[in-house]
Chains A and B, each alone.
Chain A
Amino acid sequence: MKPSLFTRWAGMLLAAVLAATLLSGCGYNQFQAKDEATKAAWAEVVNQYQRRADLIPNLVNTVKGYATHEKDTLEAVTRARAAATSFQITPEVLNNPEAFQKFQQVQGELSSALSRLMAVSENYPQLKADASFRDLQSQLEGTENRITVARQRYIAAVQDYNVTVRSFPTNLTAMMFGYQAKPSFTVENEKSISTAPTVNFGK
Chain B
Amino acid sequence: MNALPRLLWAWMLTLLLAGHAYAQGQFKPVPALRARVTDEIGMLTPDQRQKLEGVLADYEAKTGSQIAVLLVASTEPEAIEQYSIRVADAWKLGRKGVDDGVLLVVAKDNPKALRRLRIEAGRGVQGVLTDAQSKRILEDTIAPHFRQQDWYGGLVAGVGAIATLLNQEKFPAPPAQPTAQQHEDDGPNVVVSIFLILVGITVLRSVFRPRRTRLAQPGRYGSGWGSGTTGFILGNILANAAHQHDNDRWRGGGFSGGFSDGGGGGFSGGGGGSFDGGGASGDW
Contact = CB atoms under 8 A, between A and B. Distances in A.
Interface string A118-157: 0000000000000100111011011101101110000000
A160 interface: no
A131 B85 CA distance: 27
A54 to B, nearest CB: 13
B132 interface: yes
A189 B278 CA distance: 25
B132 A146 contact: no
Interface in B129-152: 130-132, 134-135
Interface residues of B, number: 16
Contact of B280 (A48, A131, A138): A138
Taking each of A44, A142, A146, which has the highest tally of chain B beta carbons within 10 Å of its own beta carbon?
A142
B6 interface: no
A141 B134 CA distance: 12
B54 interface: no
A145 B278 contact: yes
Contacts of B278: 142, 145-146
B276 interface: yes
A100 B236 CA distance: 54
Contacts of A138: 131-132, 134-135, 280
B11 to A, nearest CB: 22
A135 B133 CA distance: 8
Given A131-B220, A134-B132, A141 B276 contact: no
Taking each of B82, B132, B279, which has the highest tally of chain A beta carbons within 10 Å of its own beta carbon?
B132
| B contacts with A: majority SS | mixed
Given A145-B81, A149-B85, A135 B132 contact: yes
| A contacts with B: majority SS | helix
B116 to A, nearest CB: 15
Contacts of A146: 276-278
Contacts of A149: 85, 275-277
Contacts of B277: 142, 145-146, 148-150
B131 A141 contact: yes
Contacts of A143: 131
A138 B129 CA distance: 12
Contact of B281 (A44, A136, A141, A150): A141
A51 B134 CA distance: 18
A142 B85 contact: no
Contact of B279 (A135, A142, A148): A142
B280 A141 contact: yes
Interface in B48-95: 81-82, 85
A139 B130 contact: yes
Contacts of A142: 131, 134, 277-280
Contacts of B81: 145, 148
Nearest to B132: A135
A101 to B, nearest CB: 24
A45 to B, nearest CB: 11
A136 B279 CA distance: 13
A139 B276 contact: no
Interface in A42-64: 44, 48
Interface of B: 81-82, 85, 130-132, 134-135, 220, 275-281
Given A138-B132, A148-B277, 4 more contacts: A138-B131, A138-B135, A142-B277, A149-B85
Q: Which 5 A-B pairs have the closest CB atoms?
A: A142-B131, A149-B277, A138-B135, A135-B132, A146-B277
